[in-house]
Amino acid sequence: MSVRMNLTIGEIVQVCGGRPVWKDGKADCDTCVTSVVIDSRKVEAGGVFLATVGERVDGHRFISQVFTQGAALTVTEKTPEQVETETGVDCSGWGSYVLVEDSLQALKDIAECYRKKLDIRIVGITGSVGKTSTKEFIAGVLAEKYNVLKTEGNFNNEIGVPLTLLRIREEHQAAVVEMGISDFGEMHRLSKMVRPDVCVMTNIGQCHLENLKTRDGILKAKSEIFDFMAENGEICLNGEDDKLSTLLDVRGHKPHFFGLGSNPAEEVKAVEIQSRGLWGSDAVLEMSGWATDAGKGVSTDSAKGWKFAKIPVHVPLPGRHMVLNAAAAACVARLFDLSDNQIAEGIGKIQPVSGRNHLIRLKDYTLIDDCYNANPASMKAAIDLLAMADTEKVAILGDMFELGEDSDRLHGEVGAYAAAAGIDRILCVGSMSEHMFEAAITQAGQKGEGDSAEGLSAQSMHIVHFPTRDALLESLRQERKEYIPDGSTVLIKASHGMEFTGVLDFLKGCGEEV
């Protein structure tokens, strides 16, 4: 039997502001529903289905189907007559529904209503880079003490966030919600739904510059997370970030800083860092400064302090940025009253997320799967990671989107950075990445004619440009070992729209896992 939510049919109808049409002319508005979804395949008996119009599929086509699955109610932008006229689908099987102007707005309104009824502490995470990895660290550590719900994948936008909130159930004791934006106003709307008890900001980098223009604009947009923060909420900021480190007072709240020890204000700092190459790092987390009374959760008594502690930890994921994520998780964990042991145990259990610094060991080479998305800061962090390999190093780097008028310069900086880092083979892919290619050639002191694989001599083939992903794949099919020698370590990274999962799948298909 499905577990019911603390949300009734009557409340959903009221918050949607639509016109209800009851099957048989009546409904039990006091009945709690079991789920609220926009995917017809996930409808449970007693659940609610919101029919939305997507780029490929119109959810209204499946309303009759969800009632056969036991749906208690649907939220729809169209009447059954409209659906029959537009699609030819038989709508005689419709049950009770609510007719609204905008189903996605209804989704957000329902999630906001539900959040207000929940007795649970929520950690909201935002920033330019590292949100998903930081989410995994924080949720993983908190799970040492609590039943934690976290954002699936990177469902961090105005559809993913409400769906995450609507997955929270009575058994959950904490939730970790990733919050991503690309324009002003979005974070305000996300914060209104999430109402975070703890706000975490990872950094202010160069992404979504097309809309936000500057890093100050990014900071302003991300800071909208504080608009609906809980009255006694807490703030955890990266003390290594030059923008975030200036936020010494946020609307009367004193932030807690975490970092790598370069900022005296950091209350949680990772020191004595020892790299174990691609297999992680060892470090010591030094804890000092303000915290909570044991067992009372998020506190407002700033007179209380943490006992100074040194916690040796092993961070299983490679790179200093992952050590920074561990410090962020420890900072939040202290606010949730975890012990030193629980913090160390939780950090040591962290697993990589597919598409984000995920190591795949094959017989002929090792892949670093970081192909989910990219911006200049995350590109450089991934290059730093690749540079740790004690093998020949190959970087397959694609276009970075939404960089605005600075796109050419920022692509060039990444190319120069890769060459300066000593990456042996740099494969630049996409029209924007021509600037990456040219800067890498200049940095390496090489000279080649043309901007494609065919235009370079055999001697300089370790810095190559491919105009498209398909051009890269075709060359790899013909002469993979010329670009990716046996025994090498290969980084795969680009913006999501470059569809580099195809590159990953091809290279995985060429090798045998060990």
Per-residue model confidence (pLDDT) at position 355: 57
pLDDT at 27: 76
Exposed/middle/buried for residue 445 (C-beta within 10 Å: 0-12, 13-18, 19+): exposed
313, 348, 383 - which closes a domain: 348
**Among 60, 28, 26, 32, which residue's Cα sits nearest to residue 46?**
32
CATH number at residue 39: 3.40.1390.10
Q: Are residues 69 and 154 in the same domain?
A: no
Smallest Cα–Cα separation from 83: which of 118, 53, 40, 47?
53
Total domains in the fold of the chain: 3
- DSSP single-letter state for residue 401: -
Three-state secondary-structure class, residue 48:
strand
Q: Does residue 113 lie in a domain region?
A: no
**481-510: pLDDT as tens digits:** 999 999 999 999 999 999 999 999 999 988
Which pLDDT value is given to residue 513?
66
Same domain, 314 and 362: no
pLDDT of residue 306: 63
**pLDDT digit string (tens) for 411-463?**
999 999 999 999 999 999 999 999 999 999 999 885 444 444 444 433 444 99
Q: Do 170 and 315 fall into the same domain?
A: yes
CA atoms of 314 and 35, how far apart (whole Å): 39
Q: Token digits for 74?
A: 């649907």
Last residue of a domain, one of 295, 322, 348: 348
CATH number at residue 469: 3.90.190.20
501 in the same domain as 442: yes
Q: Are residues 269 and 395 both part of a single domain?
A: no
- What's the rounded Cα separation, in Å, for the pair 366 and 22? 58
Q: pLDDT value at position 318?
A: 86
Residues 6+ apart with CB under 8 A from 128: 202, 203, 204, 205, 206, 207, 208, 218, 222, 375, 377
Rg (Cα) of the chain, in Å, rounded? Answer: 25
> Sorting pLDDT into bands at 50, 70 and 90, what band is 289?
low
The answer on pLDDT for 2 being more than 60 is yes
Let me know whether 373 and 498 are in one domain: yes
Is 353 a domain residue?
A: no
Q: Any idea what DSSP says for residue 486? A: T
The answer to whether the CB of 393 falls within 8 A of the CB of 401 is no
pLDDT digits (tens, 9 = 90+) for 369-409: 988 788 898 899 899 989 988 899 999 999 999 898 899 99
Which helix or strand (DSSP H or E) is residue 480 part of? helix 469-483
Same domain, 217 and 125: yes
Per-residue pLDDT for 252 more than 50?
A: yes
Average pLDDT value over all residues in the chain: 90
Contact status, residue 257 vs residue 263, Cβ threshold 8 Å: yes
- How high is the pLDDT of residue 59? 94
221-248 confidence digits (pLDDT tens)? 999 999 999 999 999 999 999 999 999 9
Specify whether the CB–CB gap between 322 and 281 falls below 8 A. yes
**What local confidence, expressed as pLDDT, does residue 453 receive?**
44
Percent of the chain's residues with pLDDT above 90:
75
- The domain of 377 spans 358-510
Report the pLDDT value the prediction gives residue 305, as an integer from 0 to 100: 57
413 domain residue, yes or no: yes
CATH classification of the domain holding 331: 3.40.1190.10
145 & 73 share domain: no
Among 102, 136, 166, the domain-final residue is 102
Q: What is the pLDDT of residue 291?
A: 47
| Count of alpha carbons within 13 angstroms of residue 98, beta-carbon side | 28
Say if residues 180 and 156 touch (Cβ distance below 8 Å).
yes
Whether pLDDT at 295 is above 50? no
Q: What is the DSSP letter of 79?
A: -
Q: Which amino acid is at 75?
A: V
pLDDT in tens, 299-351: 333 334 567 899 999 999 988 889 999 999 999 999 999 999 999 999 999 98
